[in-house]
A and B are shown apart, each in its own frame.
Chain A
Amino acid sequence: EDKVVQSPLSLVVHEGDTVTLNCSYEVTNFRSLLWYKQEKKAPTFLFMLTSSGIEKKSGRLSSILDKKELSSILNITATQTGDSAIYLCAVPRPTMYSGGGADGLTFGKGTHLIIQP
């Protein structure tokens, strides 16, 4: 059974700090790993990682995949109160049907990040 484990589950830091969120996975036929940010509503897409060692960046957020360690990290530098959210890591679950593809996403439980002013 595919498994995605995120740590820490909860994190409280002060504005301006840098945080690192972790995601480890055990999946059959790994293809990609996705990061989402969830505020008080729907998860919104941040990054998709497919190759080991390549960093994806968007402003103060960056993420990197380590296929050897079966893990990924999400870094947020110079945190702001608007970064407060639940950060979700997910991996596609390969389909049993022919033709490739995936049946859905297996999510970790998320990291609840709180940025204090």
Chain B
Amino acid sequence: EAQVTQNPRYLITVTGKKLTVTCSQNMNHEYMSWYRQDPGLGLRQIYYSMNVEVTDKGDVPEGYKVSRKEKRNFPLILESPSPNQTSLYFCASSFGPLNTEAFFGQGTRLTVV
């Protein structure tokens, strides 16, 4: 089954403790992105990747890192999480240039206390 898998689905952590949210897709997609969704602000792009070893900042990259060492995986790293990073996070992938459908993971609800 074609899918984008994120883990964990829910995470509560403390300020400053490094964490990684994993994202994996099994569709051989080149494009992958991370978004965060906040009430009243909608979905905003954090980082994106056009292929292995090619990543770039989206609209709200501060406080986040990503890597793309393999085509299928695109982890999101929070080196020192802060409460303002409490949000719902989505990973998405698409086959080619993003004029086509993007597939989303199930989301990771992160709470930083």
Which residues from A are CB-within-8-Å of B92? 105
Query: In the complex the two chains form, what is the Cα distance from A1 to B49 in whole Å?
Result: 20
Number of interface residues of A (CB under 8 A): 27
**Cβ contact within 8 Å between A42 and B90:** yes
**Cβ contact within 8 Å between A104 and B58:** yes
**Cβ contact within 8 Å between B97 and A100:** yes
**Cβ contact within 8 Å between B42 and A107:** yes
Give the contacts of A99-117 with B (CB-CB under 8 A).
100-110
A interface residue numbers (CB < 8 A to B): 31-32, 34, 41-45, 48, 50, 88, 90, 92-93, 95, 97, 100-110
B interface residue numbers (CB < 8 A to A): 4, 31, 33, 35, 40-45, 48, 50, 56, 58, 90, 92, 96-107
The distance from the CB of B1 to the nearest CB of chain A, in whole angstroms, is 14
**Cβ contact within 8 Å between B33 and A105:** yes
The distance from the CB of A114 to the nearest CB of chain B, in whole angstroms, is 16
**Cβ contact within 8 Å between B50 and A101:** yes
The distance from the CB of A77 to the nearest CB of chain B, in whole angstroms, is 23
**Cβ contact within 8 Å between B98 and A104:** yes
**Cβ contact within 8 Å between B99 and A104:** no
Which residues from A are CB-within-8-Å of B4? 42
**Cβ contact within 8 Å between B106 and A41:** yes
Query: In the complex the two chains form, what is the Cα distance from A97 to B31 in whole Å?
Result: 14
**Cβ contact within 8 Å between B97 and A92:** yes
Query: In the complex the two chains form, what is the Cα distance from A95 to B31 in whole Å?
Result: 12
Query: In the complex the two chains form, what is the Cα distance from A102 to B103 in whole Å?
Result: 15
**Cβ contact within 8 Å between A109 and B33:** no
Which residues from A are CB-within-8-Å of B42? 88, 107-110
**Cβ contact within 8 Å between B97 and A105:** no
